[in-house]
Amino acid sequence: MAYTTENNQSGVMTKAIKEGIFAGVIALGMFLLFVGIETYQDINNQLVWRTRWGLLGVFVAVAAIGRFVTVGFIKPHLDSRKLAKAKTGVLEISDEKGFFRTHFLKIALIFLLCYPFLAMLIFGRQGSLKYVDNFGIQILIYVMLAWGLNIVVGLAGLLDLGYVAFYAVGAYSYALLSAHFGFSFWLLLPMAGILAALWGIILGFPVLRLRGDYLAIVTLAFGEIIRLVLINWTDVTRGTFGISGIEKATFFGIWSFDVGAANNFNKAWGLPSSSVYYKMFLFYIILALCMLTAYVTIRLRRMPIGRAWEALREDEIACRSLGINTVTTKLTAFATGAMFGGFAGSFFAARQGFVSPESFVFLESAVILAIVVLGGMGSLTGIAIAAVVMVGGTELLREMEFLKHVFGPDFTPELYRMLLFGLAMVIVMLFKPRGFVGTREPTAFLKERKAVSGSFTKEGHG
């Protein structure tokens, strides 16, 4: 091409340097007061201030160099790649997928099945605890919650900001019923789901007449009401103290994981006493629950009810003209989503051994919703990826001790969790406005299954 000459190259470089300096100046202006100066209380409880020029320097340098690299190298590279593709006539959206893409789900499932053992092999028995529990189980809980919420938000297009309420119902159902009646985990797991679904219907009846923003606000309020009831109904829930000593899940009633029990799992199998086996067991339970959620969602999407959910998201008025009872359709979406929230809640209670209203704040709803939106509404794979990135990412932050060397010893990376979460969301939404997986898989086809581009699907309107 005529215009990719030396002359043009140096033009790009000057432009990159200019924009880099410009970005640096803007960053300096923006962060001078926020980052450069810090106020704190000294030993005499007086408010004093000190400067943090080093940190400010890091911020400015990141902005300037980042802009320089983007304009100078990344953009020309992307442009030339696009140009080359256009010349060879290869479309941007190519149908051919590599081996990894076509078998992605199988590979992921096999990896997950081996994951606890791999962790144990690599990090040893105690070292693997962190990987199985903090990463594995934690992420899978969010995958399950997000898949459950996906039915309501992603498929039916009903914006629910109070999903954590059903999680709470599930958790407290297990905690209270096992404490008062001594029912086992395996009995209470379905019961918690059914109770949460019932609450979904109870909430749904008055709320589903509302649309859009109003629906969002009322579900948000419902989430808060449940939390406030949990805090204030102290006779039953013990308020903010929470309920502790919740019974562990048993190995289908055959073996127990309680240390003192006669049929202790570790003893029965001649294993050294360690909590890691219980965690591994929990990992497989939540993995199975996730698979159940995915299976039911996939099956339901191909059933009339699932299609009606998606049709509802696309156009509610057209649905009514086709004889679809939109009220019951919305209610089933709400109840099904709530049921999976309830399952996840009872699992959460069994895993923690302790529940308190602290775990069910609005922020949890927001995080779950963010995962659904980031993943691409309706797409199970996208949502799972988003959960790994978001939850795994925040867990990773805890591990980043080296950041202390950069930002000083009082730097606690966890505190920046939400900042990074927000930043990541903005970035993903800029580049992938429809989430990681923006396309939609059709539920039926005559000749070939073609993914539906995200530009045709709607988000729903409540």
Partner 1 sequence: MATGTTMTKDAILKVEHLSMKFGGLMAINDFSFEAKRGEITALIGPNGAGKTTVFNCITGFYKPTMGMITLSRENGNEFLLERLRDFEINKVAGVSRTFQNIRLFSGLTVLENLLVAQHNVLMKASGFTVLGLLGLPAYKTAAKEAIDKARYWLELADLIDRADDPAGDLSYGAQRRLEIARAMCTGPELLCLDEPAAGLNPKESLTLNTLLRTIRDGGTSLLLIEHDMSVVMEISDHVVVLEYGQKISDGTPDHVKNDPKVIAAYLGVEDDEVEAIEEKLDEGTV
Contact positions vs partner 1 (CB under 8 A): 296, 299-300, 303-305, 307-308, 310-311, 313-315, 317-326, 332, 440, 442-450, 452-453, 455-458
Q: Which is nearer to partner 1, 225 or 318 (CB)?
A: 318
CB 397 within 8 A of CB 411: no
Identify the three-state secondary structure at position 445.
coil
Q: Which is nearer to partner 1, 279 or 313 (CB)?
A: 313
- Spell out the alpha helix ranges (H) of 35-69: 53-69
Q: Which is nearer to partner 1, 114 or 303 (CB)?
A: 303
**Closest Cα to residue 67, out of 20, 35, 106?**
20
Residue 256 phi/psi, 5-degree rounding, is -110, 155
Q: Which is nearer to partner 1, 297 or 394 (CB)?
A: 297
**Which residues, other chains included, contact 287 with Cβ-Cβ below 8 Å and sequence gap of 6+?**
112, 113, 140
**DSSP label at 251?**
B
Q: Which is nearer to partner 1, 1 or 317 (CB)?
A: 317
CB 425 within 8 A of CB 374: yes
Name the token pair of 72: 């100078």
- For CA atoms 398, 401, 407, 411, the dihedral sign is positive
The vertex-51 CA angle with 47 and 52, nearest 5°, equals 125
Shortest Å, Cβ 200 to partner 1:
16
Q: Which is nearer to partner 1, 82 or 302 (CB)?
A: 302
Name the token pair of 239: 């308020």
Q: Which is nearer to partner 1, 405 or 447 (CB)?
A: 447
**DSSP label at 320?**
H
CA–CA gap between residue 340 and residue 193 (Å, rounded):
6
Name the token pair of 123: 């990090």
Q: Which is nearer to partner 1, 304 or 393 (CB)?
A: 304
Residue 269 CB burial class (10 angstroms; 0-12, 13-18, ≥19): exposed
